[in-house]
Amino acid sequence: MKTKAATWECALPEADVGNMTQMAELLMDDETFAGFYQRTARPLWAYLARVSGNAALANDLLQESYLRLLSATFTADGEVACRRYLFRIATNLLRDHWRHPVSASLEELPEGALAACDSRVFERMDSKELLGRAFVRMRPRERQLLWLAYAEGSTHREIAEITGLGATSIRLLLFRARHKLARLLRRQNIEPKRGT
C-alpha cells in the first residue's frame, strides 16, 4: 500500500488533490518552453517596447505574458497559435496598463500620451534612424496595428485575434495609420530604399 507523504496534501480530500495536480500542470514542459521562448521573446519584447514606448514596462509585461501563457488552460494548437495567444496576452496586459478610470479604450488616449519616456533609448536602437520620432507620435492603437502588420507580418485576421478588434475594421484602421506614419516619415525626409 502506498503511504502518503506527510504534507499539506494529506489534509485535503483525495479528489481535490488529484484535481489540483491536474491543474498544476503547465502548458509546456521545460524544454519545449525554452525553445518557444528562444524564438518568441525578442520579437515580443520589441513589440511591447515599441508600442508602449517604455523599455522597463516591456520587461515587466514580457515576463507576465509568459507566466500567464504557461498558466493558461488554453489548448495549444501548434506554435503559431501559441505565439498568437502570447501576443494577445501581451496586448491585453498593455491595455490593462493603460486603462484609465474614464477612458478604457486605446482609441481615447491622446496622441503622445504614452510618448516614450525613454524614446531616446529607441532612437539609439534605430541605427539607421528610419523610424526616428515618427513612431512615438502615433496613437498606441496605431502603433500596435502597424507593428503587428509590418514588423511581425501578421495577417488582418491574426491582428483582429490579437487586438480583439473586428476583422473588417482592421484594413481601414491600418490604412489610416500607415498613411499617417508615411507622412510623418516623409517629413523627416525618409524615403523607401530602392535596393543596394
Partner 1 sequence: MKLKFCSREEEAAAALLDEGWSDANDSELRAHIDECPHCMDVVLVAQALRQARIETARAATLPASGVLWWRAQIRRRSGAFERATRPIAVVEKLALVAVALGFACLAAWQWNQISDWVLQLTYLARPNTSLLDTLWTPFSGVSGWILASLIVSLGALALFGGLAIYLLVEKE
Instruction: State which of positions 27-66 bind partner 1 (CB under 8 A).
Output: 30, 33-34, 37-38, 41-43, 45-46, 49-50, 55, 58-59, 62-63, 66
Residue with smaller CB distance to partner 1, 88 or 143:
143
CB 109 within 8 A of CB 60: no
CB 84 within 8 A of CB 161: yes
Instruction: State which of positions 129-188 bind partner 1 (CB under 8 A).
Output: 130-131, 134-135, 146-147, 149-153, 171-172, 175-176, 178-179, 181-182, 185-186
x/- letters, 61..100, toward partner 1 (CB under 8 A): -xx--xx--xx-----------------------------
CB 52 within 8 A of CB 115: no
CB 140 within 8 A of CB 47: no
Site for partner 1, rule CB under 8 A: 8, 12, 16-17, 19-20, 23-26, 30, 33-34, 37-38, 41-43, 45-46, 49-50, 55, 58-59, 62-63, 66-67, 70-71, 121-122, 125-128, 130-131, 134-135, 146-147, 149-153, 171-172, 175-176, 178-179, 181-182, 185-186, 190-196
